[in-house]
Amino acid sequence: MTQIGTDVRVAAEFLQAGNVVGIPTETVYGLAGNAFNPDAVLTIFRVKNRPAFDPLIIHTDSLTKVEQFVTSVPEPAQKLAQLFWPGPLTLLLPKHDHISDLVTSGLPTVAVRIPNHPLTLDLLRSIDFPLAAPSANPFGYISPTTAQHVADQLGDQIPYILDGGPASIGLESTIIGFENRKATVFRLGGMALEQIERIIGPVDVRTHSTSNPNAPGMLSSHYAPRKPLVLLKPGESPQPDKHAGALAFRELFGGISPDNQRVLSPTGDLNEAAKNLFAHLRTLDALPVKVIYAEQLPNQGLGWAINDRLKRASAQD
């Protein structure tokens, strides 16, 4: 069984020995391994049961180090990095040859970011390699936002989880790439589109699913509970059902037991809703219900990313 602790030195020792460990970030918890160690990268794929065609994100602690992993950083990417790193933003950039095709799933680009969590930044400063780190959960399931979530799912397969408390944002990072000098969002996430567009102007949004994704988190069925999840249309309410659970935005639905419901944010705060999303989905998934209904949120701020996660969670394979 895994050990949960707050000792950066212990986590670093496991990583240096080629093991994978759970790490906290402001977005979700990651399953981290030495990005320069092919065996460690393969272990990440094996532990998650992640398909080899789904690329990983590389984490490091400075823009200077990022520039060692890529061949170029376009001017818009430099602006975003300088303003929003550390933070919930991943940049998709042309990779340097020493970045393994295992990490990028054979793609010519690599996803990189600097996470905004003090323990993980300390960890990254203490090692001489970047960390490949997708979310620390079985592939396709709800992402973990606490160390205990990681232990509940992967605890028998990893030796250590660095406990940094609950994730402060609760949604994976926003992924943005640059094709033909045009900024493109490949995954909606913890950085709102409005923040990005204020700095670099309008961006394309290409989050459609594919069996050969250009970036992590683009598959149609993802972030899903074990129970069927039904996404309600805006303004729609579920039919009364004593066997159902519900994920509501601001207030409980009628016709479903209050014990089987969770509210994302009674005040309508989209940041609070994002922070609660995955934890509430996990709670509902553990209840004795047969189906989970979920309410769509306003398409603004982090609401875009929350709705994206709910759509994927409700998708059928």
Tens-digit pLDDT profile for residues 199-215? 999 999 987 655 556 76
Query: Class assignment of domain 3-205?
Result: alpha beta
**Residue-wise pLDDT tens digits, 33-58:** 999 999 999 999 999 999 888 899 99
Is 133 labelled a binding residue? Answer: yes
d(CA 19, CA 33): 7
Residue 208 in marked binding region: no
Judge whether 25 is annotated as a binding position: no
Single-letter amino acid, residue 164: G
Q: Is the pLDDT of residue 177 over 70?
A: yes
Residue 223 annotated as lining a ligand binding site: yes
Query: What's this model's pTM, rounded to 2 decimal places?
Result: 0.93
User: What is the domain partition of the chain in residue ranges?
Assistant: 3-205, 229-314
C-beta separation of 248 from 257 below 8 A: no
Does the annotation place 113 within a ligand binding site? yes
Is 109 annotated as belonging to a binding site? yes
User: What residues pair up with 244 in beta bridges, in sequence order?
Assistant: 291
216 pLDDT exceeds 80? Answer: no
72 is in an annotated binding site: no
Per-residue pLDDT, 234: 84
Please tell me the predicted confidence (pLDDT) of residue 1. 78
Mean per-residue pLDDT, 59-85: 96
Residue 223 binned pLDDT confidence (cut-offs 50, 70, 90): confident
Query: How does DSSP classify residue 142?
Result: P
At 9, is the pLDDT very low, low, confident or very high (cuts 50, 70, 90)? very high
- pLDDT tens-digit readout, 100-152: 999 999 999 999 999 999 999 999 999 999 999 999 999 989 999 999 999 99
Least confident of 175-184, 257-266, 272-281: 175-184
Q: Cα separation of 217 and 226, whole Å? A: 18
Judged against a pLDDT cut of 90, whether residue 63 lies above it is answered with yes
278: pLDDT confidence band, cut at 50, 70 and 90? Answer: very high
173 is in an annotated binding site: yes
257 is in an annotated binding site: no
- 82: Cβ–Cβ under 8 A, 6 or more apart, which residues? 63
CATH 3.40.50.11030 fits 229-314, yes or no: yes
